[in-house]
Amino acid sequence: MQNSNKTEVKKTKTSKSKVNLQPVRGTRDYLPEKQIFREQAMEKIKRIFEKYGFVPMQTPALEYASVLGKKYGEEEKLIFKFKFGDEELGLKYDQTVPTARVYAANRQTLGAPFKRYVLDRAWRGERPQAGRLREFLQCDIDTLGTYSLAADAELLACANEALAAIGLTNFTWRISTRALAENFLKSCGVADVKLQAAMRAIDKLDKIGEEGVAKELLEKGIGQAAVDTIFSLLKFKGDFDKIRSTIKIDPSVEDALLKFISYLDEFGVKNYTLDLSIIRGLDYYTGPIFEAKAPGFKGTIAAGGRYNHLIELFSGVEIPATGLTIGLDRILEFLKFESKKTKTALYVVGIGKDVIPLVQKFRAEGIPTDLDLMARGLKKNLDFANKRGIPYVAIVGQEELSKGKIKLKEMSTGKEELLSFEQIVAKLRALPQ
């Protein structure tokens, strides 16, 4: 019997050792040092979004599968779907479709134009690789209820400031319109019935390269001559006159593009170039489309476009809208960040004295404060505060209290001062946030 018990214990230990403690592939654990940096970046972005008149909104992580279905074209296979009882559910693929659902349900209350921002996670069944995660943070702005192309241009102006606020200024917007993409492909000899398939293939140019795109176009039944023409015209980046002289552009398409460009100029957006390879493979785009690329970054750092028919799928009536998302996690993978392990400014150590009331007093003054919960000695507490990156330690002893003072130790220099409670509060409030 004893041997049997020993065997059972051993099995239990073995089974525990097999638990994978790593996050699921394509997801990340953000320890305090990195999470603080993420939150600081989000706060800077939020301030710019609000400066431009966008208001916050939140939607659930879970949506009914019927909400998410038939909105993303080929990308629909990347949606995480599952069944719970009788309900067919999915994790949201982006912030746009849930926002369209919310606006369709609340448009009388929200009015038009409705400018909202969302900073939230999305989930996609991607093959994990550098710059491509299964769970990631999106910083979204959308303007709903107006056909004005000024709304589209304002998105880029706002994103320029938001990206600059987190230290990213060297990037270029590649712009086009959905209609221009269709005109371009028709001029290359692509039949109307194959336009959508061709656009989906070209949208993968950054992922699979020219050879991969050419192969896919041929597999879709697009002839070699058309494929050759497509790649020859894709080289005319930024040269609208050359593009206009080479392909047939409908007057209405040209007018809309030039109007969009004029609004970009009025908003002071100068970092853009016309690029026929910008297709945006999602089926719901209808007007201007745009992607931001930066040297050294794999993939896009921000992207979006106009989607005048998406909300109609929920409301039954056409409601114009345009939106843009900043892929913050992708950006932060490449940006250098200043190491900061905690936002705590003060660690209070008591010597033979209950310091809880004093800790609460500092907190009441808005000072981020922590205290010893392990009953350690002074040296171990100082080591702990140093390891956690807490800049100041308050040492509370009977001798100091009898003088109405507290010993404040600056951890970076070792300097100690006897100060009053009020003096410490003033000193810590002056610290950079």
> Which helix (DSSP H) or strand (DSSP E) does residue 214 occupy?
helix 205-219
> How high is the pLDDT of residue 15?
52
Report d(CA 203, CA 278) in Å as an integer.
7
**213 φ/ψ angles, rounded to the nearest 5 degrees:** -65, -45
SS3 87: strand
> In the beta sheet, which residues pair with residue 410?
392
> How high is the pLDDT of residue 335?
77
Break the chain into its structural domains and give their ranges: 32-332, 346-429
Task: Cite the beta strand spans of 103-155 per DSSP E.
Answer: 114-123, 135-144
Report d(CA 164, CA 302) in Å as an integer.
13
User: Which CATH superfamily is 346-429 part of?
Assistant: Anticodon-binding domain (3.40.50.800)
Q: Which residues does 27 contact at the CB level (< 8 Å), separation at least 6?
A: 133, 134, 135
Q: Give residue 16's identity as a one-letter amino acid code.
A: K
Query: Which tokens is 7 given?
Result: 């065997």
Please determine, looking at this structure, whether the domain spanning 32-332 carries the CATH number 3.30.70.260.
Answer: no
Reading the chain (433 residues) residue by residue, the pLDDT tens digits are: 444 444 444 455 545 568 999 999 999 999 988 899 899 999 999 999 999 999 999 999 999 999 998 788 778 889 999 999 999 999 999 999 999 999 999 999 999 999 999 999 999 998 887 768 899 999 999 999 999 999 999 999 999 999 999 999 999 999 999 889 888 888 888 888 888 888 888 888 877 888 888 888 998 888 898 888 888 888 777 777 778 877 888 899 999 999 999 999 999 999 999 988 887 766 778 999 999 999 888 788 999 999 999 999 999 999 999 999 999 988 887 776 666 788 999 999 986 567 899 999 999 999 999 999 988 889 999 999 999 999 999 999 877 777 889 999 999 999 999 999 999 999 999 988 6
Query: Which tokens is 408 given?
Result: 């404040």
**418 φ/ψ angles, rounded to the nearest 5 degrees:** -95, 115
Question: DSSP alpha helices (H): ranges in 319-407?
Answer: 328-332, 356-364, 378-388, 398-402
> How high is the pLDDT of residue 1?
42
Task: Cite the beta strand spans of 362-425 per DSSP E.
Answer: 369-371, 392-396, 406-410, 416-419
> How high is the pLDDT of residue 29?
93
pTM: 0.83
* DSSP letter assigned to residue 117: E
> How high is the pLDDT of residue 5?
44
> How high is the pLDDT of residue 7?
42
Query: Which tokens is 138 given?
Result: 């999106």
Do 338 and 313 contact (CB within 8 A), yes or no?
A: no
Cα distances (Å, whole numbers) of residue 253 to 20, 90, 133, 203: 54, 37, 36, 20
Report d(CA 326, CA 35) in Å as an integer.
17
Q: Give residue 96's identity as a one-letter amino acid code.
A: T
Backbone CA torsion sign across 204, 205, 208, 214: positive
SS3 318: coil
Do 73 and 196 contact (CB within 8 A), yes or no?
A: yes
Q: Is residue 330 classed exposed, middle or buried when 0-12, 13-18 and 19+ CB atoms within 10 A define those classes?
A: buried
Do 146 and 112 contact (CB within 8 A), yes or no?
A: yes
CA 177 to chain centre: 23
Residue that is written with structure tokens 């320029």 in the block: 160
Report d(CA 107, CA 270) in Å as an integer.
34
